[in-house]
Amino acid sequence: MSIFLPPALTRRNLLAGMAGTVATALLPARHGLAGAPVVRDFALRAAPGRSPLLPAPRGRTPVWRYNDAVPGPEIRVRQGERLRIAVENRLEEETTVHWHGVRTPNAMDGVPQLTQPPIAPGETFLYEFDAVDAGTFWYHPHQRSFEQVGRGLYGPLIVEEAEPPRVDRDVTWVLDDWRLGEDAAIVDDFGGRHDMMHAGRIGNVVTINGRVARDFAVRRGERIRLRLINAANARIFALDFADHAPLVVALDGQPVTPHPPAGGRVVLGPAMRADLVLDCTGPVGSRATVVDRYYDGLEYGLVELAYGAEPLRDAAPEWPVALAANPLAEPDIGAAIRHEVVFSGGMMGRMVMEEMAGRMGGDRPGGGMMGGMMGRMRSMMGMMHGDGIWLINGVAAKGPVLEPMLTLDRGRSHVLAMTNATAWPHPIHLHGHSFRVVSRNGDPTPYREWQDTVLMAPRETVEIALVADNPGDWMFHCHILEHQMSGMMGVIRVA
């Protein structure tokens, strides 16, 4: 496998790739003897360093990282425990840490200006929150994320179930991609205009747990719980496990009805996670390549499953795989308040808006909801001066956003009816809550999965539903970090 992937995507490749895309009440804390929750202390130090992303004899890459490693340390606790994490900033700029997918109190959410002052160089901030949900989460800065995450600041946060399902091994793969030059250094072009307007800053080197991976050793008969985390700024993955038949058992940390991935590919937009149960059913001594097929014509082998000479057992075990549900409040769709959200902008955005507005019924008068949408699209088109930045409901965020675009009545059920009126996929993330993905293009989803980040295909409509039960001001943004920085970001208030 060559280390460097083909260069930047062409538009043709990307569009072809997208066409084939399968759009695919809080728990009481775990109590110690005296009745207080078990508190687990951790320390993270963000600082520059050098990490061996590429195999020897290639040099080490200057990165920014937590506790001298990329990814940062795996923070692992039991459900119901309280985390207390001291974050020390040894960078030369301000930072914060956001606990992606964890339903923290608002003040612990790590969004600069909105929920806390940024942590100045040399300073330390203490985060403290309970692990209410079991699952696979991750942490990363929310300050200039497009560069801080892009330079290597991220790590996994695993919350174990009280009774985890039986497996032989519990493995975490943090996926990332990097844009490296021949000298193994990161190409210093963060925030470039082309990346902003198109698919984001996609790299040319993909790593698993901070290394270009070659082999992943397995044994015949082994059952692995594989926790995948996409920490890339912009790259979307669609992993094909060759002759294996993994089951998806959780998405974004939340249990889902165990099912084979649609189209045989595990699709992960930036920030998304999937927990797989992978039964190693290949022959002793064989090899199988895990291939990323998201971008058509740019498939590459991510890693090889390398079977050892000794089987662990002859057939896959029959242990149950389903996970116990987390304590999420179930939205009442019938009684939900409905909100329309339209994403627009980007390269070719105007064209897509016109096309979608046309499809919604042109000048048909009094077209009810569709007519309203149409009018909204019309006026948005009027406001778009050429292609470029990104907008949510006609507004492109500039600088830190403090004013809410939407207020959700606390304790009520809400449906966000979201339309991707752009030519690009977007992984849309809401802080502080998980939501059910209830429909895509009007069709009910088969699993009504809980997510905190939902990947929307170009021109797709997606409805999500949630109970607004976590008060505060929460970020709502695209997790392609270049889209986030160039407008695709807003605040949703729960009050």
Residue 198 binds ligand C2O, judged by CB under 6 A: no
DSSP string computed for 368-380: HHHHHHHHHHHHH
Residue 454 binds ligand C2O, judged by CB under 6 A: no
Nearer to ligand C2O, 98 or 219 (CB): 98
Q: Contact 32/309 with Cβ under 8 angstroms?
A: no
Query: In the bound complex, what is the minimum distance in angstroms from residue 6's beta carbon to ligand C2O?
Result: 27
| Among the residue ranges 232-240, 279-287, 347-355, 418-426, the one whose residues contact Cu ion (CB under 5 A) | 418-426
Q: Contact 114/475 with Cβ under 8 angstroms?
A: yes
Nearer to ligand C2O, 462 or 492 (CB): 492
Nearer to Cu ion, 199 or 218 (CB): 199
Size of the site for Cu ion (CB under 5 A): 4
Longest Cα separation, the chain: 71
| Distance in angstroms (rounded) separating the CA atoms of residues 127 and 104 | 10
| Among the residue ranges 221-229, 278-286, 403-411, 472-480, the one whose residues contact ligand C2O (CB under 6 A) | 472-480
Contacts of ligand C2O in 109-168 (CB under 6 A): 140, 142
Report which DSSP code applies to 311.
-
Residue 103 binds ligand C2O, judged by CB under 6 A: no
Query: In the bound complex, what is the minimum distance in angstroms from residue 301's beta carbon to ligand C2O?
Result: 28
In terms of C-beta density within 10 A (0-12 exposed, 13-18 middle, 19 or more buried), how is residue 403 classed?
exposed
Sheet containing strand 75-78, edge to edge, reads 75-78, 155-160, 135-140, 98-100
Query: In the bound complex, what is the minimum distance in angstroms from residue 478's beta carbon to Cu ion?
Result: 3
Sheet containing strand 124-130, edge to edge, reads 61-66, 39-51, 82-89, 124-130
DSSP string computed for 131-151: --S-EEEEEE--SSHHHHTTT
Query: In the bound complex, what is the minimum distance in angstroms from residue 140's beta carbon to ligand C2O?
Result: 6
Q: Which residues contact 158 (CB under 8 A, 6 or more apart)?
A: 74, 75, 76, 77, 135, 136, 137, 172, 227
- 381 membership: H or E segment, kind and range: helix 368-383
Nearer to Cu ion, 323 or 457 (CB): 457
Binding site partner of 431, from ligand C2O, Cu ion, none, Cβ cut-off 5-8 A by kind: ligand C2O
| Among the residue ranges 188-196, 291-299, 337-345, 473-481, the one whose residues contact ligand C2O (CB under 6 A) | 473-481
Binding site partner of 53, from Cu ion, ligand C2O, none, Cβ cut-off 5-8 A by kind: none
Contacts of Cu ion in 459-478 (CB under 5 A): 478
Given its phi and psi angles, is residue 285 left (phi above 0), alpha (psi -120 to 50 degrees) or beta? left
Binding site partner of 483, from ligand C2O, Cu ion, none, Cβ cut-off 5-8 A by kind: Cu ion
Residue 100 binds ligand C2O, judged by CB under 6 A: yes
Nearest to 272 by CA among 478, 19, 53, 494: 478
Among 85, 131, 271, 466, binds ligand C2O (CB under 6 A): 271
CA distances from 409 to 230, 253, 492 (A): 32, 26, 11
Binding site partner of 179, from ligand C2O, Cu ion, none, Cβ cut-off 5-8 A by kind: none
Nearest-5° angle of CA 393, CA 395, CA 399? 140
Among 219, 429, 436, 483, binds ligand C2O (CB under 6 A): 429
Among 234, 480, 481, 492, binds Cu ion (CB under 5 A): 480
For binding to ligand C2O (CB under 6 A), which residues are involved?
98, 100, 140, 142, 271, 429, 431, 475, 477, 479
For binding to Cu ion (CB under 5 A), which residues are involved?
426, 478, 480, 483
